[in-house]
Chains A and B, each alone.
Chain A
Amino acid sequence: MPTHEGRPRWFLWVALVVLLVAVQVLLLTLTLHYRSSKAQQEVEAGVLASAEELRKMLGADLRRVLNLPGREAAPSLWRERAQALLIERPELLRVERRDTTFALTQALDTPTRSPLFARIPRAQAQLETDLACRAAERRSEPSYSRSYFVPHAEGGGIEVIDLCIAERAGETLTGHVVATFGLPGLLDQLSATAPPPGLDLAMLEPDGTMLAHGPQRSGAGVFRASRLIDLPGTAIQLQLNSPAAQPSLVPDLITTMVVGLSLTLFGVVVLLARDVRRRARAESELAESLAFRKAMEDSLVTGLRARDRQARTTYVNPAFCAMVGFDADELLSSEQPPYWPAELAGEYQRRQEERLASGAQTRDAFETTFVRKSGERFPAMVFESALRDASGAHAGWMSAIVDLSAQRRVEEVARQQQDRLQATARLATIGEMASLLSHELNQPLSAIAAYATGTLNVMDAHTPGTALDAEMWASLHVAARQIAQQSERAGRVIKSVHDFVRRRESAREAVAVAELVEAVLPLVRLQARKSDTAIEFDPEPGLRKVVCDRAMVEQVLLNLTRNGIQAMQGAPHAGAGDNGGNRLGDRRRLLVLRARASTPQWVLLSVIDSGPGVDDEVARRLFTPFFTTRSEGMGLGLSVCRTIVEQHGGALDFENLRDASGAVRGVEFRFTLPAERAGTPAARAAASETSPATLTNEG
């Protein structure tokens, strides 16, 4: 990742994490807070209900105590009724009747527990009772005493409060009824009804001194609420203590869920971050590879073109645009490719339809002609293959297009150079033969000059008007005929040279071997005559025509025959023949031109001399250009010969011929030319013309 982008990104990630943590903490805090306040509320509500319940209970107990029979009733009845009351209400520990002087007249302890004042006498613990009774007298209403501790006989003790009711008969005080409530009992009664279960209820003095509490003291002391209950004469604080501890993170389900979700969220964020990073990397890699592909396509010199199955162009690369000179937009928008030459468009269209019909299997290369925007036509090579989409379905075609015009130009230049070289070689051949040719021309010209001058001499010597004698007339006739013949001969020499040197269109045609040989024979004979060489042409009967460039092959024949003749000239005669047809009868210089069908497809032409052969040293360099064994030679002959033959697809080589004793008795130079194929001559010629070129095709 690039550094200048990395920092904000890194920063963003940190910010995100911080934010996330903050939110999580806040959420946890809020959760805890909610739970705390909920517990608190529960406690508050509980204490409220308990206080109400306590008030109601105390009120009910007050009414019961008031319902006890008064002074006018029999003490037994009171006792009976008090007994029933004490059994009914377990919180009531003792009921007393006192007179106006606060002296105890009647007292009854609850039968459910041991008598209250067993340890200490009542008199020692009735200060608060006394105060309450006075308050009741004063206010003419029942009054409660402050709580006080009564120790038990068996150890321990109990907090109690007294309810004092002033009995009046009219306006006069008749006595007091004191009821003693045990606070634990009250608490037990209260716990049984009012507060939500599990909560720890306690009674405290307003200053916080514990008076009574529930049996199990389960309160955790974290969530508590107290309510001060005002009773006439005193106040009791009721405290509710929830057993719930401070809400902690772990054991709580909600908290666990919240934490779990937070962790999950965090994990998700981490995963997301990793995913994002992976995606970013993949994206950058993708962008890189796309850029690479684009650069590749842009830098290609090969034109690329994609077409869909309806043959609409869907993509072209810049090289193709440059090649045809149209913009990519023009190419993509046009219905019919603008680079189709107008005159061939119909044909291309037809071929394209054929291709469309042929389906996806097409994969081929063909040559075609396109036209540039400038109107210039150019040959192009198109390599086309089916294009498949990701699912493998045939989506269209992809073509690579190579502009062949430069290549064609190079080929053309090469061909012209080759032509020039061959023309030069032909001229060089003639140049090497110049001396021979001038002799060949001089001979008939000399004869002509001699006959003409002689004839003139005769005419000058003859007296006009007189008749010539018959012998002289015959001589003149002979002379004139000789002049005519020799002129013709000179003309033939010139023509043979001209025919050979003349530049001809290089074209392959089917030619009979005999025709080729006859074309060079005049020149060959010119040389042969000077060196007493017999020329023999030995063609196989029924030989096929050969497909070749006449002018070139003629030159090969001329070069090889000339080499053969000269080889025989330079050396002492080889292979004396006693049946030789030569003038002096002691020489046998024979050059054989042989033509044979080596295979059905090839014709083998041999030039066989009876010279001294080719020694190894010369043989190694024989085909090297400018290598020659002759002072006047240019050394182009054999190398050009080999080039020409190889251009025809044939091969040129040579072999020393040996007789039975192993002595070299000549050399055979031979080369192959392609034979005409079976069929009609016209068709064959046409086929040989067109076969190298690929048929024009649409691309």
Chain B
Amino acid sequence: MTTPELGLSMVYLVDDEEVVRQGIAWLLRSRRLLSEGFDSGEAFEAALEQHAASGTGPEDWPRAPSCLVLDLRMGGMSGLALFERVIARGLLETLPVIFLTGHGDVPTAVAAVKRGAFDFVEKPFSNNALVDRVEQALAASAAALLARRELAARQRRLEQLSKREREVMELVASGLSNKAMAEALQVSVRTIEVHRASVYEKLGVQSAVELLNALNSLSAPRS
């Protein structure tokens, strides 16, 4: 699955057994999904570390829709430990985690889902259930990436507003009429109208309602 404006999706496979990694890779490839394998939590952690060092934060990686397929039980760092690292790095939205579990690990996997994992799939998985969930995860990742991109764009527009325009926008958001705004700012109503049109144009909204929505979407993730 590809989302043209985001680039090629990537599935990261972490399993300490090579044949399982290869098998899943083959399966994903048969559904036209790219994957990259890691043989331990430590290896993937090292890769994350590398990305973090080269970029500035969660915004910079992953750029393409991604998903992490993680074996719960591994030698060395366990799947759960790696999951905690992913949460700590704030990658949970853009890098949804699907756990692979054995029969006995289901309760652990359920707990992980409650902590924010995308899902878990019990080994041995049947048919394309895993791939389907991977695609859904990638879609979620893509959505998250798009939302993040939109947010960044709006942020940039908001930063283009002049001081006066920002004041007018805040007053519009608080629901005052033009006249009231003019009184508050001790300018003419006409001036208010000009600023208001400018704000609408810069933020790409048509009405006060749209403006409110846009502001809410900007502020919500930061809260």
Contacts and interface: CB of A to CB of B under 8 A. Distances in A.
Contacts of B131: 453, 457
B75 A532 contact: yes
Nearest to B24: A450
Interface string A479-491: 1001001100000
A453 B27 CA distance: 6
A454 interface: yes
Given A435-B102, A446-B123, A453-B128, A486 B30 contact: no
A457 B27 contact: yes
B30 A446 contact: no
Interface stretch (A356-364, A437-445, A597-605): A437-445
B104 A451 contact: no
Nearest to A445: B124
A485 B28 CA distance: 20
Contacts of B29: 454, 475
Q: Size band of the B side of the interface? A: 20 to 34
A538 B23 CA distance: 36
Contacts of A486: 19, 23
Contacts of A439: 73, 102, 104
A120 interface: no
A438 B127 CA distance: 20
Contacts of B22: 447, 482
Contacts of A450: 20, 23-24, 26-27, 125, 130
B24 A583 contact: no
Contacts of A485: 19
Residue among A447, A450, A475, A584 with the most chain B CB within 10 A? A450
B167 interface: no
A458 interface: yes
Given A457-B31, A482-B23, 12 more contacts: A438-B102, A442-B102, A445-B123, A445-B124, A448-B124, A450-B24, A454-B28, A455-B30, A456-B30, A475-B29, A478-B26, A584-B42
A482 B19 contact: yes
B128 A434 contact: no
Interface of B: 17, 19-20, 22-24, 26-31, 39-40, 42, 73, 75-76, 100, 102-104, 123-128, 130-131
A231 to B, nearest CB: 167
A568 to B, nearest CB: 12
Residue among B17, B39, B73, B123 with the most chain A CB within 10 A? B123
A435 B104 contact: yes
Interface of A: 434-435, 438-439, 442-451, 453-458, 461, 475, 478-479, 482, 485-486, 529-532, 583-584
Contact of B123 (A443, A457, A583): A443
Contacts, number: 97
Contacts of A444: 19
Contact of A442 (B123, B126, B127, B128): B123
Nearest to B126: A449
B40 A583 contact: yes
B26 A454 contact: yes
Contact of B23 (A434, A448, A461, A584): A448
A533 to B, nearest CB: 9
B27 A438 contact: no
B31 A446 contact: no
B20 A443 contact: yes
A444 B19 CA distance: 8
B190 to A, nearest CB: 64
A93 B201 CA distance: 229
A154 B192 CA distance: 229
B12 to A, nearest CB: 16
B75 A446 contact: no
B26 A451 contact: yes
15 contacts: A438-B102, A446-B123, A449-B23, A449-B126, A450-B26, A451-B26, A453-B27, A453-B128, A454-B26, A455-B30, A456-B127, A485-B19, A486-B23, A583-B40, A583-B76
Contacts of A458: 30
A532 to B, nearest CB: 5
B204 to A, nearest CB: 41
B19 A583 contact: no
A447 B23 contact: yes
B75 A531 contact: yes
A447 B100 CA distance: 12
A173 to B, nearest CB: 188
Given A446-B100, A530-B75, A531-B75, A479 B124 contact: no
Contacts of B19: 443-444, 447, 482, 485-486
A485 B131 CA distance: 23
Nearest to B42: A584
Contacts of B31: 454, 457
Contacts of B75: 529-532
B83 to A, nearest CB: 18
B103 A446 contact: no
Contacts of A455: 26, 30
A599 to B, nearest CB: 40
A448 B127 CA distance: 11
A449 B125 contact: yes
Contacts of B20: 443, 446-447, 450
Contacts of A475: 26, 29
Contacts of A530: 73, 75
A7 B193 CA distance: 156
B103 A453 contact: no
Given A446-B23, A451-B27, A457 B103 contact: no
A458 to B, nearest CB: 5
Instruction: Give the 6 A-B residue pairs with the shortest CB-CB distance, closest first.
Output: A450-B23, A445-B124, A457-B30, A454-B27, A447-B23, A454-B30
Contacts of A482: 19, 22-23, 26
B167 to A, nearest CB: 58
